[in-house]
Amino acid sequence: MNEHSDLGRVLTTWLEDGPSTMPDRVIDVVADRIGRQRQRRAWPFPGRTNVTTQFKLIAGLAAVVLVAVVGWNFLPRSGGFGGQATPTLTPTPSAPPPLAEGILAAGTYRLQPFSATMAIDATVPDGGWIGGPPSAIGGPRGESNGPNGVAVSFLTAQTIHSDPCHWDQDGSGSAPDEGDVEVGPTVDELAEALAAGSAYESTTPVDATLGGFSGKRLDLQLSPDPAGCDTFEGEANKYFVFGGLEGAYFAQGGANRWQITIVDVDGTRLIGVLVSYAETSSEDLSAAQEILDSVVITP
C-alpha cells in the first residue's frame, strides 16, 4: 500500500467520524507527508522565499482540513435536526470573457471602455459580428463602415467640439483634443449641448434607459462627407463629435447616423452610441439595438 492510499484511507475514516474534530492519526499522517514532501516555491519572483518551514506546515495542514471539510459538506446525507435538509454550496457565476478582436461567437462579452472600473456586459447574436476591443462591436456586413455598416460603442466625455471636422486645435494630429464646448457633469447638460450643436442635425432628447440606468437619448445625423476634416494619426478626414481621449470615437464614414444614449452610472456619465447608415439593413439595426438592450452594467 503506498502513502497516497494510506492518506486517503485515513481521511475517509475521519470524514465518517464528522468534521468537528481531527483525530491525532490524521495529524500524524498529514505532518509526516508534509515533512517528506518537497516544497514548491509559491512566489514567481526571485529572492521572495522568506516563508518558514513551520508556516508551510501550518498552511499545508490547513489546506488539507479545508478540502476535507468542503468535501464532507458535498457528501449526500439524510435530513438534519428536525428533518431539515442540509444546505449545499452554490458556486459563484464566473464573469463573461473580455471582448475579443475579430469575429465573435454568439454569447456575452465584457467591455471596459475607459479608465473607470465599470464593467459592461453585452450579449452578441450569431452571424459574424466583429469585436473591436475594448469598447466597440461592429456589424456582420460592412462592420462599422458605410454605406451599410452598423456598430455599438461605449465611451465617456466631458467636452464636445463645436466643429467636429476641425477638432485638432493644437495641430498635433496625434490625439483628439478636449472640445471647445465645456459641458457640465450631468446627463441633461450633455444631451442639451449635443442637441444645440449646429454642425449636424439633432433630435430632441427623450427619456431612455441603458443597463437599468436612467438617462436621455437623441439622434445625430452627421456630415454627409468628412472630406477636408483634420488628420488623425496620419489618416485624413476624421470627424470627432466628443472631445478628449475617452471620447475618441470618430464618424465611421459619410452620413453617419448616431443614436446616442447617455446615462449616469454612480457618478460616471456613460455614453452608448449606435452607428448606422441609410443603407443599413433593418435586420442588422434591430440586432444592434438588441445588443444595447442586453447590456448589464456593473459599477
Q: Are residues 50 and 178 in the same domain?
A: no
| Mean pLDDT of the 116-122 span | 87
114 inside domain: yes
**Cα separation of 276 and 283, whole Å?**
12
Query: What nine digits make up the cell of 263?
Result: 446615462
pLDDT at 42: 28
Q: What is the total count of domains within the chain?
A: 2
Tens digits of residue pLDDT in 22-53: 555 544 544 454 444 433 322 222 222 233 33
At 28 the pLDDT is: 54
Max intra-chain CA distance, the chain: 85
Question: Same domain, yes or no, for 113 and 20?
Answer: no
Distance CA 13, CA 72 (A): 12
Between 169 and 49, name the one with better pLDDT: 169
Query: Does residue 93 sit within a domain?
Result: no
Grid cell at residue 247: 471620447
Residue 92 domain-assigned (yes or no)? no
Residues of the domain holding 40:
3-83
Q: Are residues 119 and 55 in the same domain?
A: no
Query: Are residue 125 and residue 10 in the same domain, yes or no?
Result: no
- State whether 167 and 217 are in the same domain: yes
Residue ending a domain, choose from 25, 54, 83? 83
| CATH classification of the domain holding 110 | 3.40.1000
Determine the residue type at 38. Answer: R
Domain presence at residue 66:
yes
State the DSSP string of the chain: --HHHHHHHHHHHHHHH-TT---HHHHHHHHHHHHHSPPPP--SSTT-----HHHHHHHHHHHHHHHHHHHHHHS-----GGGPPPP---PPPPPPPBPPSEEPPSEEEEE--SSSS-EEEEEE-SS--EEETTTEEEBTTTBT-TTT--EEEEE--SEE-SSTTS--TTS--SSPPPPSEE--SSHHHHHHHHHT-SSSEEPPPEEEEETTEEEEEEEEE--S--TTPPPBTTB----BSB-SGGG--B--STT-EEEEEEEEETTEEEEEEEEE-TT--HHHHHHHHHHHHT-EEE-
Would residue 89 count as lying in a domain?
no
Specify if 278 maps to a domain: yes
Residues 72 and 205 in one domain: no
Last residue of a domain, one of 83, 118, 152: 83
Average pLDDT over every residue of 145-162: 95
Closest CA to 249 of 279, 229, 228, 271: 271
Q: Do residue 19 and residue 128 come from a single domain? A: no
Same domain, 284 and 202: yes
* pTM of structure: 0.69
Residues 110 and 254 in one domain: yes
Domain boundary among 33, 48, 83: 83
Q: Determine the pLDDT at residue 90.
A: 58
**Residue 96: inside a domain, yes or no?**
no
In this prediction, residue 91 carries a pLDDT of 59
- Residue 88 maps to a domain: no
Residues 79 and 111 in one domain: no
Question: Same structural domain for residues 53 and 188?
Answer: no
Are the C-beta atoms of residues 179 and 161 closer than 8 Å to each other? yes
One domain, residues 79 and 107: no
pLDDT on residue 112: 87
65 or 200, which is more confident:
200
pLDDT tens-digit readout, 226-247: 999 999 989 999 999 999 988 9
